[in-house]
Every structure is written in structure tokens, then in C-alpha cells.
A and B are shown apart, each in its own frame.
Chain A
Amino acid sequence: MNLTDLTAVVLDGFVLGLQFGILGVGLTLVYGLGGIVNLAHGQMAVLAAIIIARLIDGGTQTALALLIGVTAVGILGLVLDLTLMQPVYREPGEGRVLLGLLLMLGVGFIIDGILEWRYPIEALTLRVSGSPIRILDVPMRRGSIIASAAIIGIGAALALFFRYTTFGRATRSVIQDEQGARLCGVNPALVRTVVFALSGVLAGVVAVTRAMTTPVDSTAGVSLTVFALIVAVVGGLGSVSGAFLAGILLGIVNTVSAFYIGSYVSTIILLVVAAITIVVRPSGLLGVKS
């Protein structure tokens, strides 16, 4: 086993893992707050990617296109929360989880259908020019480094927001004990709406950072949703740092197994690792115990 190879593979896994992490965060927050498994999360990311790609093709400046694409899915999240999700929030207990899951599955199908119908071969690739930078003696592409730095920055900002701001603390209080939060004067409906919109923005961030390392095509939605789900469950539903930890773990597992065994088994190994984690720690790596 060549040490440089291993370092390179682990670093690649880390880059992928950060993307998995930010993907899982969007899903985990929405679930932790309102019990909704957003099975359209990956499709929302792809929607952002295709909007950005179309805008850039049409001559819009890249920075502006990114801003519009990310904002658009943020607004989509906001609108979904205020419309389709309202009857879901009124449903008590298990009914809520199932209804939310089915409705969001439907939203995912609709986005997938529209994209495959109108833009079947569209893909977003964001090329970052410049020669590779050596990290730990491994030449890393600039796109990977910028994408990773952006995710780390956003992740840190999220962590600070949830830990130290009044609204961030209120968000965690609803995740940990919604009744207790209401007794403290926190309005869970407002928190849910804001966080669903934030989750949409994070889906947009996934699209942008992913496109710096790999093309994001119009059919990528389902697999992104599946990865988001695995990361959120392994990390512990409702935990931001758990999602990042799980994302990095699974990203490294994915690239290492793809490199040393073959990419055909890497997803299976990923699922096995996820299953083992859940057996050992049912509430996830950093999950809120109920």
C-alpha cells in the first residue's frame, strides 16, 4: 500500500465528505424540527444547479447566477413550508412523518420529471482555473479546495449561529423539546419556516460546491437525496455537527473503498457502515436521545 495514494484517497474522501455533510445538514434540520423527511432535498439541489447552468448559458454573470439559483431554492423551501407542509404539521405522531415523507417524495418526482423533460442533458460544471495546490504532498485541484473551504466556512457559521444566537438557540430548543420551547415563548411554526428556507439555501450550496468538483446533471437528484438521508441518519437526526461528522466518515469510506476495491461496491460498503453505525448507536453519532 502506497502512503501517498492513501493520503490522496483520504483527502478526496474528505472533500466528498464535506459535500455529504452539508447535504445531510439540510435534511437533518428539517426532520429534527418538524418530523419531515425531505425526500426532495437532492432534487432541490439539482434544481438550483440547472437554474444556474441555464443562467450562465444565457450570459448571466457567474456570481449573479449562483446567487439567483441558491436564492430560488431557498424560496422554494419557504413556499413548500407555508403551503404543502401546513397540513403535515397539524398531523400528530407517526402520521406526520409518513404524510410529510410522501408529499416530499411527490415534490421530488415533480422536480425530477420537469428537469428530465425540459433539460435532459443539462449539467452544471463550475471550472475553477489555476494549477493544483499541494496539500500533504498531494496535488489538489483548486475547485476541490475552494469548495471545501466554502463548506467549512458555512458549516462554522451555522455552528456559531445555532450555538450563540437567540434564534439559533430557539431552533435547538424546538428540536430537543417542542413543548418546552413553546412554554419559553418560542414559536415553533416560525422556526420551522425559517429553517425550511435555510435548508433550501443549503441545497443550493450543495449544488454549487459539488459542481466545482463534479458535473451536477439533471438526473442526480435521487442519489443526492439518498446520500443526504444516510448522512442525516448516521449523524443523528437533528444534529448539525453529527451530519458533518457522518458526512466526512462516509465520504472517506466511499473513496477508500472505491479506490482499493472498486466503485461498484463502494455504495454497498457505505450502506453497511451506515447500518452498523445505526445498530451500535441507534440515535446516530451525535443524535438527540429521546
Chain B
Amino acid sequence: MSGHLLEIEGLCAGYLGQDVVHNASLFVGQGEAVAVIGSNGAGKTTMFRAICGMLEATAGTVRFDGEDITNQKAHKVSRAGVVYVPAERHLFPQMSVRENLVLGAYPKRPSGSQLDMIFRLFPRLEERLSQHAGLMSGGEQQMLAVGRALMSSPRVLLLDEPTTGLSPLLANEAYDALAELRSDGLTILVAEQQVPLALGLVDRGYVLDHGRIDLTGTADELRDDPGVRRAYLGV
């Protein structure tokens, strides 16, 4: 047992019998922040969906805290502590911000201290508490999606392109919030195509290209890699 909190080995997954992710392996240690970088269509979302039980993996294993959770039902993966924030957010549009947050703690009742922690991180959410989630701006919805995920006190947070639809300013703010969570000790796996932002947050990263992980290294190594620089950093 190597003892990493989240370990993915030889993962294959896709749609309609066609694999999109091929033989992907990665790990995330306790308290680490790790990025999966890749362009649109590289397979980041497919990989994340297979990790969290939203999509069936056709091969490979997902281990969390030493336990095999491959192809467990999504609600069980979430209750075990692996909580996924999809790029499309999947909020409950006709519920208030408060109700969305309360559901994040399901099946437990939310505690006041959790809510306070989330309001410290995202003061906007406290101002908008009774607003319907569907009527909020993209930036606020992103805050709510992360806030909702945090309500269950996750042990690993999986974020799929948290900057989707956000202006550069809001994208920076989103990553400031993630940095704060990280320094509080939360384990984070983030998929991102805005590579400079992601590499500013994480310790290590994996480059996913056409469904295969073809490069891995520390944030600094990736920043200095000629391939990464050409493909993602525009240098």
C-alpha cells in the first residue's frame, strides 16, 4: 500500500463503447493539490466522471484511502468523501442558495460552523442566501457549486474547469479561494485548460492529451517544459 489518498490506475472510460480516456494513472496525496491539464476534448471530464461514479470505467481501478471504489454509485463516492464539482455545476436552479448548501451536507443536517466557513470564503453567498440559484451570475454559481461541495466536508475535492464561463478577474478570484482551501489542508484535484492559473495553485500536474497522460511533473517542471509552454502557455 503506497498510501496515497486517491490512486487511479490504468483507467479507461468513454461513451457508447468507445474509450475516450486510455490507461490513465495518477495519484493525489493527502493535502496535495494536483492539476490535470489538457485542451478541450482531451478527456478531462470523462476521467473525472469515471472517478466519481458518474460514468462507468471500462478498465482500471480507482482507490480512495486504500479502498477500491471503482464503479461505485456516485452518491456513495460522494458520501465517502470524494466530491466532484462539474464544469456545468449542476446546481438546483429553483432552490435558494441556502437550500443548495443544505443539500450539500446530505444526508446530515448542516452545521452552523460549516456555513460560517463557507461564508468567510465566499461572502457573496451570505448576501444572496435566499436568491434562487438559477438566477445568479456565473461567478456566483461557481462559488455556490464549490460551497455546496464543501458542505459535506470532503476529503478530496475534484474540480472540473472551475473557471468555465468566468471573466479573467473572476477566474483569478476563484483560484484565490481555492488557494485558501488548499492552505487549510484540503486535498484538491483540478482539471483546467487555463494552465497558468492551475500551475499557480498546485504542487504537481499531469498533462492529458487525446485521453492519455503523456507528461507529469511538479508545477515548476511543467511550466519549464517546452511542450507545455508551446501548447498551453503561448510562449
Least Cβ–Cβ distance between B82 and chain A, in angstroms: 10
The answer to whether A184 touches B106, judged by C-beta atoms less than 8 angstroms apart, is yes
The answer to whether B93 touches A177, judged by C-beta atoms less than 8 angstroms apart, is yes
Q: Which of A255-290 contact B (CB under 8 A)?
A: 288-289
Which residues on the B side are within 8 Å of A177 (C-beta)? 90-93
Instruction: Give complex CA distance A289, B90 in Å.
Output: 14
The answer to whether A170 touches B91, judged by C-beta atoms less than 8 angstroms apart, is no
**Does A186 make an interface contact (CB < 8 A)?**
yes
Instruction: Give complex CA distance A176, B134 in Å.
Output: 11
Q: Which of B46-83 contact A (CB under 8 A)?
A: 52-54, 73-75, 78-79, 83
Partner of A183, one of B86, B94, B107: B86
The answer to whether A183 touches B90, judged by C-beta atoms less than 8 angstroms apart, is yes
The answer to whether A180 touches B90, judged by C-beta atoms less than 8 angstroms apart, is yes
Partner of A173, one of B52, B92, B109, B134: B92
Given contacts A166-B106, A166-B109, A180-B90, contact A173 B75 (CB under 8 A): no
Least Cβ–Cβ distance between A189 and chain B, in angstroms: 8
**Does A4 make an interface contact (CB < 8 A)?**
no
**Does B193 make an interface contact (CB < 8 A)?**
no
Q: Which of A120-177 contact B (CB under 8 A)?
A: 166, 169-170, 172-173, 176-177
Our count of residue pairs bridging A and B at CB distance below 8 angstroms stands at 78
**Does A60 make an interface contact (CB < 8 A)?**
no
**Does A86 make an interface contact (CB < 8 A)?**
no
**Does B142 make an interface contact (CB < 8 A)?**
no
Partner of A176, one of B83, B94, B152: B94
Partner of A185, one of B75, B85, B91, B95: B75
Instruction: Give complex CA distance A185, B84 in Å.
Output: 11
**Does A187 make an interface contact (CB < 8 A)?**
yes
Least Cβ–Cβ distance between B23 and chain A, in angstroms: 26
Which residues on the A side are within 8 Å of B152 (C-beta)? 184-185
Which residues on the A side are within 8 Å of B78 (C-beta)? 182-185
**Does A62 make an interface contact (CB < 8 A)?**
no
**Does B179 make an interface contact (CB < 8 A)?**
no
Given contacts A179-B54, A179-B86, contact A186 B103 (CB under 8 A): yes
Contact bitstring A24-55, B, C-beta under 8 A = 1, else 0: 00000000000000000000000000000000
Which residues on the A side are within 8 Å of B155 (C-beta)? none
Instruction: Give complex CA distance A183, B89 in Å.
Output: 10
Contact bitstring A202-218, B, C-beta under 8 A = 1, else 0: 00000000000000000
What would 15 more interface pairs be, CB under 8 Å, given A169-B95, A184-B106, A184-B152? A169-B102, A170-B107, A173-B106, A177-B93, A181-B75, A181-B92, A182-B53, A182-B73, A182-B78, A183-B54, A183-B74, A183-B85, A184-B103, A185-B78, A186-B75
**A contacts, CB < 8 Å to B:** 166, 169-170, 172-173, 176-177, 179-188, 288-289
20 contacting pairs across A/B (C-beta < 8 A): A166-B109, A169-B95, A169-B106, A170-B103, A170-B106, A173-B103, A173-B106, A179-B54, A180-B89, A180-B90, A181-B75, A181-B103, A182-B53, A183-B54, A183-B90, A183-B149, A184-B75, A184-B104, A289-B94, A289-B134
